[in-house]
Amino acid sequence: MASNSAVIILLPFLLLLSPVAAHNITRILADFPDFSAFNQFLSQSSVAAEINRRQTITVLVVDNAAAAPLSSLDAETLKSVLSIHVILDYFDTYKIHNLRRRTTLFTTLYQTTGVAENNMGFLNFTHLPDDRLAFGSGVKGSPLTATYVKAVKAMPYNISVLQITGAVVPPGITDAPLAPFGAPITVAPEPLVPAPAPVDDSDADTPDADAPAADSPAPTADSPAPAADSPAPASGPAGDAPAPEEADEDDSSSAGRIAGSITAGLLTAVAGALML
């Protein structure tokens, strides 16, 4: 009896606190036949359920042609690869075009699995000199292999869905040989006019090492990216685990995190009370 009344008293709180799925990635993508293959992969790998459980995320999707090679992956690798396409922060088209850093590492869902090694749980995001937004694996030395195509859906600040040209598959994620997943992005050899550094007020780029390197006729012509691309001083993801990226741009997500831990705390307390 005592515990019954506890439940009755607590029920409204439990209902209030239970995370109502505000979005359903399966349903969102169902409106876009171009992404039906990727949508199918998300469901079959159960990454879709994980996406729906989370808030403040960005899902990178690829069209059916670009998704086709994913079918060659075994189930476990597929799940890992898909998790790498879920960024644990909200980036809509405006935000992703206006990041202060030209290159940064995004933390992905795969990083939370605890099995990610060698920076595999991070995505390298690089705003190229020709203004394309490129993505690659966070594994050191891996090429950028995909670029931003368009925004598919934005539900601020819960979930953003962005299309990229191809899936990002980290080298070494599986021992099995991989189907080709997109050639490395080559950066236009002619850098743009030595633009008066548009938005870049950032601390990320070393102030003058940056400019000369970018504009010089690039002696190593075919290095995958403008070599000197700021070594991003000390932002090695190893350093401070969870969020190497844009700490000051995501008030929303830190608020979310705080709310999340408060919720978790309350639930623990409630669970404790019910045990009595």
Ligand X SMILES: *[C@@H]1O[C@H](CO)[C@@H](O)[C@H](O)[C@H]1NC(C)=O
Which of 56, 83, 108, 126 touches ligand X by CB under 6 A? 126
Contact call for residue 24 and ligand X (CB under 6 A): yes
Structure tokens at 264: 């978790």
Give the contact letters, 143-182, x = binds to ligand X (CB under 6 A), - = no.
xx----------xx-x------------------------
| Residue 59 in the binding site for ligand X (CB under 6 A) | no
57-61 β-sheet, strand order: 86-87, 57-61, 159-164, 144-155, 133-137, 122-127, 103-107
- 229, 246, 253, 256: which one contacts ligand X (CB under 6 A)? 229
Buried b (16+ CB within 10 A) or exposed e, 167-200: bbbbeebbeeebeebbeebebeeebeeeeeeeeb
User: How many binding residues for ligand X (CB under 6 A)?
Assistant: 22
For residues 123 and 191, the answer to whether their CB atoms sit within 8 Å is no
Does residue 52 bind ligand X (CB under 6 A)? Answer: yes
Q: Which two tokens stand for residue 100?
A: 């202060």
By CB under 6 A, tell whether 136 contacts ligand X. yes
Of 69, 60, 65, give the one whose Cα is nearest residue 176.
Answer: 69
Give dist(CA 87, CA 91) in Å, integer: 9
Choose between 124 and 165: whose C-beta lies nearer to ligand X. Answer: 124
C-beta separation of 191 from 221 below 8 A: no
- 22 is a contact residue toward ligand X (CB under 6 A): yes
Which residue's structure tokens are 């699995």?
Answer: 113
Shortest approach of ligand X to residue 140 CB, angstroms?
Answer: 7
Binding residue (CB under 6 A) for ligand X from 121, 129, 224, 256: 224
- Binding ligand X (rule: CB under 6 A), the pick from 45, 77, 111, 124 is 124
Q: Can you give the binding site for ligand X, defined by CB under 6 A?
A: 20-22, 24, 26-27, 52, 103-105, 124, 126, 136, 143-144, 155-156, 158, 224-225, 229, 232
